[in-house]
Structure 1
Amino acid sequence: MLEADDGGPCLVVRFDAPCGALSSAVVGGGFVEACGAIVNRQVPKSYMADDPEAEMRAFLVRHGFEVDAGVDAVGASAVRTLGLLTAAFVREVGFAECALGDGGRSVACWATVGLGNAARAGRVREPAGGLFPGTINAVVVVDGGLAPGAYVGAACVAAEAKAAALADLGVRDPDDGGAATGTTTDAVAIVATGRGAYARYAGTATLVGHAVGRTVYDAVYDSGRRYLAYVAARRGG
């Protein structure tokens, strides 16, 4: 955990060697081939920046993180650090790990959860303008290799597992009362170390997909449970 110069804590996940990643991060979003760290930064609910990506880049550089490592041979940006923003309580991070067979490898997930803007995907709503800090941020690390399609499959499974955790927590969309599937500002990062077996697919029927689903569900449920307990305590007080 990093204490930032603006007073907010940051969850930092570092890697021994550069990893591949697919994410919706504010800094480094999309596919990258050389991710060395992920920073999940807590900001106030009042956070507002004209250019959140530029502001987050400056924050990362100020704290000693490598942001850009140039451009690779095919023109893809080789971003060193992925930057996520959240207004959720980073100290209440949920963590889960699931073994990948008997080889000592695993899938791990860190999730920070706030539910003040819970929402149900698919219902009619007025789109919000601008970018707001992510409220459920999930960082999933697979100790193995993933094909491009498997990254996308793992992200799909992560979204399904998040929705299942919220359903079991009883979280509802405040606008229509339906079961919430997430919040309006969620983000996800799927990271692959490249070690061990290479997975072409990552649906729930696969070993990797099963482990992604298990870890995301458990991490989101854990952090979400503590968020709901905090809200209940405040209302009771």
Structure 2
Amino acid sequence: MVKILEKGDEVEGGFFRAMMYADFLLIETDNSRGISNAALNGGLIDPVAVINYSLYGKKDCENKPVEYLSRILEGIGRDQGRTIGLLTAVRPDRFGYARGRYSHCFISLGLDNAASPLDGLSYSGTGINGTINIVILTDLRLTDAALVDAFKTSVEAKSYSLMEKEVRSKFSDRLATGTITDVTAIVSSLGGLEYKYAGTGTDIGSDLSRLVHESIVDIIEKFYTSG
């Protein structure tokens, strides 16, 4: 079950330390490798941190997420070049955490921009309303190919979870598979045994899928289901 994080909550793993602040979640890592589609330092990277910053109640992002996150990181004294940076409009008191056998999942979930890949949208902005941000950390050592595999598996699990809960696109009546601004980050330890695969047919992929599914379903039921 997902734990809703409160200000001051800490989570420690074998190679990371996470702290929930008033407006953001900061995860600091040691000797790690990651992949993401984040606005700040997306792609493959050897990160020292991941930040998920909430813009809830703020109006000063000005549609420039990279510059905005860089200013935030400078203000808290963190490396702007090696921090994976995510933004969301989700309230910080709705950030969640769940733990599996091999992995840890941090999530913030909004559904205002839920969409289907068949909606035919043409969107190139940087809006963050309704974003589903997922950060997975695993104590296993994943090759770059396995990081891509884990990214794929996480997205598949997210899409399945939304369809299972019958979340609909805001732009059509189709079942949604995500939102138009989702970000996923996978961060792996560089210690221990090396794993080359993380698809749905592997132990780590199965664990990751269950975590993502559990996290999304729990948060939808907590905050988006009436009655």
TM-score normalised by structure 1 residue count: 0.81
Greater C-alpha radius of gyration: 1
Q: What CA distance in whole angstroms lies between the structure 2 residues aligned with 1:204 and 1:47?
A: 40
**SS in structure 2 of the partner of residue 109 of structure 1:** strand
Determine which of 106, 126, 140 is the counterpart of 1:131: 126
Corresponding position of 1:151? 147
Aligned length: 206
1:16-95 aligned within 5 A: 17-33=30-46, 35-44=47-56, 48-49=61-62, 51-68=64-81, 79=82, 81-95=83-97
Paired AA for residue 86 in structure 1: T
Does residue 1:172 correspond to 2:191, yes or no?
no
Alpha-carbon offset, residue 189 of structure 1: 0.3
Determine which of 122, 136, 140 is the counterpart of 1:140: 136
* Contact persistence 1:150–1:199 (CA under 8 A): yes
Alpha-carbon offset, residue 98 of structure 1: 1.5
Alpha-carbon offset, residue 120 of structure 1: 0.9
**SS in structure 1 of the partner of residue 145 of structure 2:** helix
Determine which of 157, 162, 166 is the counterpart of 1:161: 157
* Contact persistence 1:28–1:82 (CA under 8 A): yes
Q: Could you list the per-position Cα deviations for residues 67-89 of structure 1 after superposition, in whole angstroms to 9, with x for gaps in the alignment?
A: 23xxxxxxxxxx1x211000112
* Contact persistence 2:32–2:190 (CA under 8 A): yes
* Contact persistence 1:98–1:211 (CA under 8 A): yes
TM-score normalised by structure 2 residue count: 0.84
CA distance change for structure 1 residues 22 and 195 in 2, over 3 Å: closer, same or farther? same
**SS in structure 2 of the partner of residue 20 of structure 1:** strand
* Contact persistence 1:94–1:222 (CA under 8 A): no
Does residue 1:12 correspond to 2:26, yes or no?
yes
Alpha-carbon offset, residue 51 of structure 1: 3.1
**SS in structure 1 of the partner of residue 187 of structure 2:** strand
Q: Could you list the per-position Cα deviations for residues 123-147 of structure 1 after superposition, in whole angstroms to 9, with x for gaps in the alignment?
A: 322x124211261000001111111
Q: What CA distance in whole angstroms lies between the structure 2 residues aligned with 1:41 and 1:18?
A: 23
Q: What CA distance in whole angstroms lies between the structure 1 residues aligned with 2:66 and 2:132?
A: 18
Instruction: Show structure 2 runs of 5+ residues with no match.
Output: 1-19
Q: What CA distance in whole angstroms lies between the structure 2 residues aligned with 1:113 and 1:149?
A: 27
**SS in structure 2 of the partner of residue 83 of structure 1:** strand
Q: What CA distance in whole angstroms lies between the structure 2 residues aligned with 1:58 and 1:206?
A: 40
Q: What CA distance in whole angstroms lies between the structure 2 residues aligned with 1:94 and 1:170?
A: 21
**SS in structure 1 of the partner of residue 48 of structure 2:** strand
Instruction: Show structure 1 runs of 5+ residues with no match.
Output: 4-8, 69-78, 100-105
Identity rate, percent:
29
Q: What CA distance in whole angstroms lies between the structure 1 residues aligned with 2:128 and 2:76?
A: 19
Corresponding position of 1:194? 190
**SS in structure 1 of the partner of residue 34 of structure 2:** strand
